[in-house]
Structure 1
Amino acid sequence: MTAPRIDTDTLRRLPKAVLHDHLDGSLRPATVVELAAEAGHRLPTTDPDELAAWFVAAAGSGDLVRYIATFDHTLAVLQSREGLLRTAEEYVLDLAADGVVYAEVRYAPELMVRDGLTLREVVESVQEGLAAGMARAAAAGTPVRVGTLLCGMRMFERTREIADLAVAHRDAGVVGFDIAGAEDGFPPADHLAAFEHLRRESVPFTVHAGEAHGLPSIHQAVQVCGAQRIGHGVRLTEDIVDGTPGRLASWVRDRRIALEMCPTSNLRTGCVASIAEHPITALKELGFRVTLNTDGRLVSGTTMTREMSLLVEEAGWTAEDLRTVTVNAVKSAFVPFDERRALIEDVVLPGYAAALRSSPRT
């Protein structure tokens, strides 16, 4: 029997949790236009709708390097305290409007110091903007909890310094660490000093792996560096034959290492051929702890509601599947156990029950 279809309005109301979302990939197009004018930065177009379409087209070239290059325009408007405050606040409000109740936003402070801000000033400005957004969302009756992941760029030499920054701000809204940037040719183990420092200081971390590079990248992330989560991880399927996980895939599944999967982003960068064929479905069915994410809402032209809708329409997902990946995300969040349990028991599960009771499913 075919599962009933879930309409878009119901999907929007469902409580959502996102673990993999880049601040510099999730700005409002109109905000980019306004801040770029103030900064004297030239954009491909100053029409917000045209700019949004340009980002999606550039990101959808099928080339991860070109995808990353789109961030040149967003980073150009994130070099001032005012730009960081505004975009961080708007980031939270956009999440709340999409039904997100828990999120982790990530960004690389070292990319936001070109105009004189210090690393500490960048972090403090972003946290102030996020706090303002959370206060406004709560006042509007749509509370969302947002934690921050600081990214070290794997192509550069500051990951240990950024790890120090994460440790210093772990009681001020920073909940973890990540390494980002071009994956191929820049293995995670090159940054082992940063990961060892984070482990000593009990700060959790995730690693971008298994997107542009394959199993060796995932192996280093989890076996050498000790990552608690994997950013993307789509190529883990290379260690699964006829539905049977190999040693590395079994290690990831058995230890409940979460996979931060981003279907539309992977489609844009050419990692997968279609949403229907995206590994998230097969990995979910094999019992891996998969989570659903947006990666960059502006550059991928997506939202969490859209990601859910695509999986329902093109991969046959049910409400139960969506609830599973949402619970998976909260279970794997880098916040204390009591907070995670409360979010699941008091927000996610009741929210799903209420939304689906009132859903005109067909």
Structure 2
Amino acid sequence: MTTALPLDMAGIRVAPKVLLHDHLDGGLRPSTVLELAQQVGYPDLPASDTESLARWFRTAADSGSLEQYLETFAHTVAVMQTAAALERVARECAEDLAADGVVYAEVRFAPEQHLQAGLDLDEVVEAVLRGFTEGEQNAAQAGKRIKVRCLVTAMRHAARSLEIAELAVRFRARGVVGFDIAGAEAGFPPSRHLDAFEYMRAHNAPFTIHAGEAFGLPSIHEAISFCGTDRLGHGVRVIDDIELPPGTDPAATTFPDVTLGDIANYVRDKRIPLELCPSSNVQTGAVTDIASHPFNVLARLRFRVTVNTDNRLMSDTTMSREFKKLADQFGYGWSDLERFTVNAMKSAFIHFDERLELIDEVIKPGYAVLIE
């Protein structure tokens, strides 16, 4: 297919994008981390200038271990303990995403990690939602359209998941559209939090679960079969239930001789969205490199794949960079990027009419000018 614009970074930034898996405490501007640390008297940052700090986060996250990757968050969470700090980080998050062409985003964070300075859970969420609203308004003044909604996350090693699920339902009409559990997967299966998921289902409220990242098929099986998740956070290891012939090229355009196991078939048949985060998946050791990432296999087999950033600070990334990496590696064109974007919009936790409006009035027209 010919293209009206070259598929380069300038064109990709213009293209409308939808982001479902982005952590608020993993997307701070390095300059903001430094300024907030000075304001609150946090002395433990590993660098004292913006460039060095950005490099430290990127290098420290390149550990090949999810557990070590998560250690970098100690610094960002430490400077996000006041209402003003939370509001600022959320505002800048919305502004940065809009500047990158993101038109809809669901940004998640764990309120229970922001109580050290005396805020309660409701105050934490209220501050973040105020920041998102301000960021949307600032983006609009700059000529950028974005809608940002929030997912509240419970830490899977803690025991507050039901409380956080209740928080999600309490704020569902004010900008919180779902619930999540996150943190180290090994030793902390999602089934430990069944009461939280049952609460969400009882209140007809959607949720996603981090599964199939550091841990394999068992976590995916639990998330979908026992917990009833609506989406899979990462879910990259579903590839372990797909048998490919020896020597298969991951960049091929067709995969005619594959065999799907029961879990893979269920995920595809039920159209369970996969919140894939290519750069992050490499950093945490879920995959070896972009070339061997199963994204293309899953996309060509028509799983509902979505493209996400996970943690923009730690991965030094944006949605545009993630799209460009995938396009360069697997030969995607504008129509492919449009499909991944529509996949994400269909999978969002806002209501159907809102999803349809964004697809029909923003996403499809936005790609129409890129595709001849």
TM-score of the pair, normalised by structure 2: 0.94
Report the counterpart of residue 27 of structure 1 in structure 2.
Answer: 28
**Correspondent of 1:183 among 185, 188, 208:** 185
Report the counterpart of residue 72 of structure 2 in structure 1.
Answer: 70
**Correspondent of 1:204 among 179, 203, 206:** 206
2 CA distance for matches of 1:60 and 1:266? 10
Residue 337 of structure 1 pairs with residue 339 of structure 2: no
Report the counterpart of residue 270 of structure 2 in structure 1.
Answer: 255
Q: CA deviation at 1:315?
A: 2.1
Report the counterpart of residue 93 of structure 1 in structure 2.
Answer: 95
Contact 1:289–1:328, Cα closer than 8 Å, also in 2: yes
1 CA distance for matches of 2:337 and 2:62? 25
Q: Deviations over 1:29-62 (max 9, x none)?
A: 0000000111111210121111111000000111
Q: CA deviation at 1:318?
A: 1.7
Report the counterpart of residue 17 of structure 2 in structure 1.
Answer: 16
Structure 2 residue identity aligned to 1:166: A
Contact 1:20–1:293, Cα closer than 8 Å, also in 2: yes
Task: List aligned pairs for 1:263-282, cutoff 5 A.
Answer: 263-282=278-297
Q: CA deviation at 1:5?
A: 5.7
1 CA distance for matches of 2:362 and 2:300? 25
Contact 2:19–2:106, Cα closer than 8 Å, also in 1: yes
2 CA distance for matches of 1:245 and 1:102? 32
Contact 1:13–1:355, Cα closer than 8 Å, also in 2: no
Q: Deviations over 1:229-283 (max 9, x none)?
A: 0000111011111322111111110111000000000111111111121111100
Report the counterpart of residue 39 of structure 1 in structure 2.
Answer: 40
1 CA distance for matches of 2:230 and 2:313? 27
Q: CA deviation at 1:355?
A: 3.5
2 CA distance for matches of 1:318 and 1:272? 24
Please, which runs of 5 or more residues in structure 1 have no aligned partner? 358-362
Report the counterpart of residue 134 of structure 1 in structure 2.
Answer: 136
1 CA distance for matches of 2:6 and 2:288? 24
Structure 2 residue identity aligned to 1:136: N
Structure 2 residue identity aligned to 1:213: F
- % identical equivalent positions: 55
Residue 286 of structure 1 pairs with residue 301 of structure 2: yes
Q: CA deviation at 1:168?
A: 0.3
Contact 2:214–2:285, Cα closer than 8 Å, also in 1: no
Q: CA deviation at 1:139?
A: 2.2
Contact 1:180–1:207, Cα closer than 8 Å, also in 2: yes
1:88 counterpart SS class: helix
Contact 2:108–2:153, Cα closer than 8 Å, also in 1: yes
Q: How many pairs are equivalent?
A: 357
Alpha carbon RMSD of aligned pairs, Å? 1.3
Please, which runs of 5 or more residues in structure 2 have no aligned partner? 245-257
Residue 326 of structure 1 pairs with residue 341 of structure 2: yes
